[in-house]
Amino acid sequence: MPFEPLTQYPDHLALEEDVLAWWDDEAIFDRLRERNSGGPTFSFMDGPITANNPMGAHHCWGRTLKDVFQRYKAFRGFDQRYQNGFDCQGLWVEVGVERSLGLNSKREIEEYGLAEFNERCKERVAEFAEIITEQCRRLGMWMDWDNDYYTFSDTNIEYIWRFLKECHARGWLYKGHRSVEWCPRCGTSLSQHELINSYEELTHPSLYVRFPIKGREGESLVVWTTTPWTLPANVAAAVKPDAEYGLTGEGDWWAVERKADAAFVRRVRGEELVGLEYEGPFDSLPAQQGVVHRVIPWDDVTLSEGTGIVHIAPGCGKEDFELSRVHDLPVLMPINEAGLFYESYGEFEGRSTEDVEKPVVVELERRGRIVEAGSIIHRYPVCWRCATPLVFRIADDWLIRADEIRQPMLDANATVKWTPDFYSKRMDDWLRNMDDWNISRRRYFGLPLPFYPCNSCGRITVIGSVSELRERATGGLDQLKELHRPWIDEVPIACECGAEVRRIQEVGDAWLDAGIVPFSTLGWQNPEWIERGYATGAAAGLTGADLPDHAYWEKWYPADWVSEMREQIRLWFYSQSFMSVTLTGRSPYKSVLTYEKLLDEHGREMHRSWGNSIDAAEALQNIGGDVIRFMFCEHVPSQNLKFGYAPAGEIRRRLLTLWNSAKFFVDYANIQGFEPGGEAPSELQPLDQWLLERTEQLVAEMTEAYERYWTPALTRSFESFVDDLSNWYIRRSRRRFWAGDEVALWTLWHALVRLVQTIAPVMPFLADFLWRTLRADDAPESVFLQPWPDVRQTDAGLLAEVAEVRRVVELGRQARGDAGLKLRQPLRRLVVQGAGPAQAHADEIAEELRVKEVEFGPVDATELRVKPNLPVLGPKLGKELGAVRAALQAGKFEQLEGGGVRVNGRDFTSDEVIVERGAREGWALAEDHSLTVAVTTELDDELRREGRVYDLTHRLNTMRKEAGLALTDRVQVVVQESDADLLEYEDRIKDEVLATEIVVGKVTEPQITKA
Ligand SMILES: [Zn+2]
Ligand SMILES: [Zn+2]
């Protein structure tokens, strides 16, 4: 049966849709899983993607890497789980729903109703889970799509409850009364890991304000602040005890260092100011009644900005709050959860921190308290979800102590193999610096924290499972449709003291949801396998995932491999590890592949609002899965990736060489009626032997790259092989294909099927398409059902030999190109210096480079050119320079040891002259570190005539193609009279263009007609 002919160019998009439909129709993935079932296991754990939006182009990066290595492991016969995960609750989803409903505060959510709000959140998750699934399929990702895990399932929640109960049992759980970063729009505090990378350049006021010192008429402390809204909550001013402070003629106290040009009338050390009382900026506010404002000492006062005197408002700043504990200062908290002023703040009541900026300044101005008012642009933290600038509030949050788990987590991380390996240190750094884990959020659609503090006895009960909840509940169970608010809030429990207690209202940090999945999805400590047992609560109906039993967990835990972006070090890699080390003392993953950020093709961050972001749907529609995947794979993962249509087009162009090679094979194989399959023929020529070895080398290189999760080596090996295949093997074997040589056809076929298979994990569509075109009848229908080829020892000598020949040829081309001599122009002589095994291939080199003679030996085609180094020699020589320059130009110089030269009896050092090695007149030269190749550039009549013969055959062959002739069609040729002299080479021309006859005619350009 002939091979299906290939079109001139691949239509990637149409081809991919065809392959996708074919995979479905033939259930290729199911058959693959069936084949590998019961084999050795490869455990991959998917980090959940938030089902809150369609995928962005950046999501395709991780999804590509995950699929590449799962496909490779499947080739190797590994049994795998293929479970995809969706992150379903927490702020992402809530804010998405708020926007779609037009709600903009917590009050509005509560008015809308928690039960309804919960339903909308679930609908949103279901909607986007479906969209994401479709996009992943289009990218070529093979997963068990009907059995995803959804982190809002009751089962997932129960597993987190168990973890929290364990933390409580170890005494790690506590309620912190602290100053925290707070988003006034979301109405909740944020955790350490939510703050990194969420800074923006913002413009804020910059105010220098006077605090008049009591009992010292005319003297004031001057403080600097960029947050005027905190001034109504001022209770103290801090100075650096050992710094010098000065009093200006205007009566203002500053740190001397901050006002160096001032003429101070008095100077004291900071400690001498400590204890002074001053008038606060807003003493008349009800909230300020009874507050005594004093100067306090603080070693950390900075002298690099401000005035060296710091305004302290313990209710509005982290360090301020710490100082309030040391100095027993009153804590005034001016704003509520929504960031609005409380009523004890007089005219500011009900206004936002931004709204009070102006009245604060106006009022202080009126009282002559402003020294200077301007503005400042600085980096300021914003909410990672809604971009609202954060403020500080004092809040009661629930935290898990990190100190005891820190070292065990570091130990666990030491067992993990990170790729690239330096990320291991990044993880260590994060672990060494991690604060206690703030796990509570004052929100609605999230993990209900199962904490029941008792007001009567002070005990905190932590519920660890649904059955425990049922046992302890004093009511409300019949309305508990799932473990979410509002229903869970209606189930009080009995405290051990007998009192009825209610759950705290807070929900959990979403990273608890994702961090527990190595337990919740694998059935840790679950006595009996429960079918569809994971599909509980909010996840019911969305997935068919089972809750496996403990034996299954033993089999699949820990994951052999996980892969997520670097940011996940402080997120999923961290939360997973925290929970796993707590529960099992082990790392949840053995190896990690991580990668950096996706930027636009000009290297800017992608933002929807900048109009430069590309979402996954758009990328898949316009670029297609294979090219996107190739782009991610060839990229070094520790660098940011520039994604866009131009780089994609470049890859598509490069991939043409593979297509053209396959098409070349198919065309000639069909002419010959070649039957694929079988073993290597016995009468292999040296070039065939080389290609077989080169193919084995490809298999070895690709296998090694997959084994170490290093995709850039995959695409590099692939491209270098394609280049060897097309630009050496096929190029050098053309005549054999024209003659229908079966040995050459077999060798090329074999190389192509191996190539297609080894790149298949990277480009599954194109690979399977070509496999189906090329495969032997007895081979599996899909490349993915074909076992991975064995890695064989290769003939390193032979490979090195041809590699060197190719280098010589490459340098020869380069030399010709530099001299402006096109490859069709034959040349007289080529000299190669430094070649080893390539010496046995003089004929091939001569043919490839169109030279008459090839010599191996020292290249005597260079000369030294020496020029004066003008900036150095100019001033030194003055008028003499001209003479030296002329002598150098004329070559009248002597080389000295150390790189210098002697000219006109004077010595110059290597710094004083510029020495260049160049080709001598009549030669062109190219070299790399060990090889030098030189060609003569002079042409004689014979060479010129031969050059014209090559031009003519090239032209005729182009005409053949343009006329749409079949490869085997013969032609008659008429050439111009001016080319009559070329008939000296008639036979050669006939051969090259499949001509039956060549005649000279009165034509203005050559003509061909089908014979
Ligand atoms: Zn927010
Ligand atoms: Zn109690």
Q: Which pLDDT tens digit goes with each residue over 149-168?
A: 999 999 999 999 999 999 99
Query: Coil, strand or helix: which one is 887?
Result: helix
The tens digit of pLDDT for each residue in 35-83 reads 999 999 999 999 999 999 999 999 999 999 999 999 999 999 999 999 9
Cα–Cα distance, 95 to 52 (Å, whole number): 9
pLDDT greater at residue 783 or residue 878: 783
CA of 387 to the centre of ligand 1 (A): 6
Kindly indicate the confidence band of residue 1, based on its pLDDT and cuts at 50, 70 and 90: low
Instruction: Report how far ligand 2's centroid is from the alpha carbon of 633 (Å).
Output: 58
**Residue 631 CA: distances (Å) to CA of 548, 623, 643, 645, 659:** 37, 11, 8, 11, 17
| Highest mean pLDDT, choosing among 196-200, 381-385, 625-629, 936-940 | 625-629
- Cβ atoms < 10 Å from Cβ of 121: 25
489 alpha carbon – ligand 2 mean position (Å): 18
DSSP 704-718: HHHHTT-HHHHHHHH
**Distance (Å, whole) CA 744 – CA 1004:** 40
d(CA 536, CA 539): 5
* pLDDT tens digit sequence for 626-647: 999 999 999 999 999 999 999 9
Q: Are strands 266-269 and 49-50 parallel, antiparallel or unpaired?
A: unpaired
Dist. CA 144–CA 543, nearest whole Å:
10
152 neighbors 87 (Cβ within 8 angstroms): no
The closest ligand to the CA of 92 turns out to be: 1
Q: What residues flank ion ligand 1 with Cβ within 5 A?
A: 183, 185-186, 383, 385-386, 388
Segment 88-96 shows an average pLDDT of: 92
Give the closest ligand to the alpha carbon of residue 443.
1
The DSSP secondary structure of 436-499, one letter per residue, reads -EE-EES-SSSPBP-EEE-TTT--EEE--SHHHHHHHB-S-GGG--SSSTTGGGG--EE-TTS-
Long-range contacts of 964-968 (CB under 8 A, 24+ apart): 965/1010, 967/667, 967/668, 967/671, 967/738, 968/671, 968/994
Q: What is the mean pLDDT of residues 948-962?
A: 94
Q: Measure 190 CA to ligand 1 centroid, in angstroms.
A: 9
What is the per-residue pLDDT across 247-288, written as a single tens digit (0 to 9) for each?
999 999 999 999 988 889 999 999 999 999 999 999 999 999
Q: How far is the CA of 493 from the centre of ligand 2 (A)?
A: 10
Closest CA to 807 of 723, 730, 863, 751: 723
* Bridge partners (DSSP) listed for residue 417: 591
Average pLDDT across the chain, whole number: 94
> What is the share, in percent, of the chain residues with pLDDT greater than 70?
100
Ligand nearest to the CA of 498: 2
Q: What is the pLDDT confidence band of residue 748, given thresholds at 50, 70 and 90?
A: very high
Q: Under the phi-then-psi rule, with left for phi > 0, alpha for psi from -120 to 50, and beta for the rest, what region is 41? A: beta
pLDDT at 889: 85
Residue type, 304: S
CB atoms within 10 A of CB 26: 13
Distance CA 361, CA 347 (A): 13
| 676-707 burial code (b ≥16 CB/10 A, e <16) | beeeeeeebeebbebbbbbbbbbbbbbbebbe
Distance CA(41)–CA(32), nearest Å, equals 14
Structure pTM? 0.87
- Mean pLDDT check: name the lowest of 441-450, 541-550, 961-970: 961-970
pLDDT at 762: 98
- pLDDT of 1002 over the 70 cut: yes
- Ligand 2 center–CA 187 separation, angstroms: 30
- Kindly give the distance from the C-alpha atom of residue 222 to the centroid of ligand 1, in angstroms, as a whole number: 34
CA distances from 470 to 450, 493, 499 (A): 13, 9, 16
Query: How buried is residue 322: exposed, middle or buried, by Cβ count under 10 Å (0-12/13-18/19+)?
Result: middle
Name beta bridge partners: 507.
441, 448
Percentage, residues of the chain above pLDDT 90 = 87
Q: What is the DSSP string of 645-691?
A: HHHHHHHHHHHHHHHHHHHHHHHHHHHHTPPP-SSPPS---HHHHHH
List of E strands, 59-218: 85-87, 149-150, 173-183, 188-189, 199-212
